[in-house]
Amino acid sequence: MPPELTESCASADEARECGATAVAHPNIALIKYWGKRDEELLIPYVDSLSMTLDVFPTTTTVRLTPTAEGDSVTLDGSPAVDGERERVVAFLNLVRTMAGRAEPAVVNTRNSVPTGAGLASSASGFAALALAGASAYGLDLDPTALSRLARRGSASASRSIFGGFAICHAGRGTGAEADLSAYAEPVAVADFAPALVIAVVNAGPKAVSSRAAMRRTVDTSPLYQAWAASSAVDLADMRVALRRGDLDAVGEIAERNALGMHATMLAARPPVRYFAPETMAVLDTVARLRADGFSAYATMDAGPNVKVLCHLGDTARIAAEIRRAVPDGTAVIAGPGAGARLRPRAEP
């Protein structure tokens, strides 16, 4: 179901009363986005494909404050710090330019996922901000345009506009052509019940931001171009596997794509290494589960946490094995979740 922009405020007078609250979920890429060919427009080098989760929602309210001096940004109850605030304000400036409006806004965001830990908080965060911001400033965007807008906050956010599985097109050309052609859309899949067991081995912020890590990888890793080429093959194979509902094929392709992405980072100069000892313990557990006959496959993002793709019916056993391997960590079970949604106005 496409998101509906039910709340909007078309005039400055109306804007005083006007606000919008949106909820979005993170997504985990089964075919990864890594590297940008345009850092201002956030245009990826490669297509990516993800599953939106049904856990860790971000809830964001945007309320216009015509008499305020500037924007006010609160993240989990505290004023957003420098870099975070700048990113949100830059995004609001983009929304205001698109809407032909100038009023400042109050932005209030609550994340239920640890921020900056490779658990896709920027995906849910900018998907929710795009939807709430577009609505508050009276922009009437279809899902494709909303996905393109979310991409300007964080490229992975373009995928969280949609529920279930979504592909993000890297687009073609440069400038306006690239901007128009880089967006996400839903992907057709068979009727099957995949799940992810998310092994949170370290919920602290990552040492190197994904933005800096991608840049260094593209600029210095001799393996980057080879991975990007193989990722196009992985994507084509993944689409076939999803259409068939073949979880083992989906898992094998996702695992090789993720480990290949990390190989590009390990070969960067200086290297970027997100693996921790606990990461290896979970990867060993996944290998052992597979040897015991379970369908269990690992994928990892810009952090030490591991997401294990498996059948919904196996999640309790796999989560128990992960907890045994990493007693200080946690294991969260996730299934496919909904796309970004506006909350009815009566709710807080």
| Choices 151-159, 220-228, 247-255, 325-333 (CB under 6 A): range interacting with ligand 2P0 | 151-159
Tell me how far, at minimum, the Cβ of 143 lies from ligand 2P0, in Å: 19
State which H helix or E strand residue 78 sits in.
Answer: strand 78-79
| Choices 59-67, 75-83, 109-117, 148-156 (CB under 6 A): range interacting with ligand 2P0 | 148-156
Tell me how far, at minimum, the Cβ of 229 lies from ligand 2P0, in Å: 17
CA distance 343 to 340: 10
| Single residue of 196, 302, 332, 334 touching ligand 2P0 by CB under 6 A | 302
CA distance 86 to 136: 19
- The tokens describing 250, both together, are 């989906």
Tell me how far, at minimum, the Cβ of 344 lies from ligand 2P0, in Å: 29
| Single residue of 25, 32, 101, 148 touching ligand 2P0 by CB under 6 A | 32
With the CA atoms of 216, 25, 127 and 230 taken in that order, what torsion angle do they form, in degrees rounded to the nearest 10?
Answer: 40
| Single residue of 156, 202, 217, 295 touching ligand 2P0 by CB under 6 A | 156
Closer residue to ligand 2P0 in complex, CB, 68/229:
229
Tell me how far, at minimum, the Cβ of 173 lies from ligand 2P0, in Å: 19
| Choices 30-38, 60-68, 89-97, 224-232 (CB under 6 A): range interacting with ligand 2P0 | 30-38
> β-strands 105-111, 72-75: how paired?
parallel
Residue 301 binding ligand 2P0, by CB under 6 A? yes
- The tokens describing 324, both together, are 């045994």
| Choices 28-36, 74-82, 232-240, 335-343 (CB under 6 A): range interacting with ligand 2P0 | 28-36
- Strand locations in 174-305, DSSP E? 184-186, 194-200, 296-300
Question: How many residues of this chain bind ligand 2P0 (CB under 6 A)?
Answer: 14
Tell me how far, at minimum, the Cβ of 44 lies from ligand 2P0, in Å: 8
DSSP 270-320: S------HHHHHHHHHHHHHHHTT--EEEEE-SSS-EEEEEEGGGHHHHHH
| Single residue of 9, 34, 197, 272 touching ligand 2P0 by CB under 6 A | 34
Residues 174-233 that bind ligand 2P0 (CB under 6 A): 210-211
Tell me how far, at minimum, the Cβ of 193 lies from ligand 2P0, in Å: 22
| Choices 16-24, 29-37, 128-136, 316-324 (CB under 6 A): range interacting with ligand 2P0 | 29-37
Tell me how far, at minimum, the Cβ of 262 lies from ligand 2P0, in Å: 9
| Single residue of 122, 147, 279, 295 touching ligand 2P0 by CB under 6 A | 122
The count of other CB atoms within 10 Å of the CB of residue 12 is 13
Adjacent-strand bridge partners of 74 = 79, 108
Rounded to whole angstroms, what are the CA distances from 348 to 1, 89, 113? 24, 23, 20
Closer residue to ligand 2P0 in complex, CB, 36/63:
36
| Choices 152-160, 233-241, 242-250, 265-273 (CB under 6 A): range interacting with ligand 2P0 | 152-160
Residue 124 binding ligand 2P0, by CB under 6 A? no
Distance of CA 301 to the CA centre of its chain: 10
CA distance 158 to 145: 10
Three-state DSSP state, 238: helix
CA distance 243 to 165: 11
Residue 45 binding ligand 2P0, by CB under 6 A? no
Tell me how far, at minimum, the Cβ of 102 lies from ligand 2P0, in Å: 26
Q: What angle do CA 47, 341, 203 make, to 5 degrees?
A: 65
CA distance 125 to 319: 26
> Which spans of this chain sit near ligand 2P0 (rule: CB under 6 A)?
29, 32-34, 42, 48, 122, 154-156, 210-211, 301-302
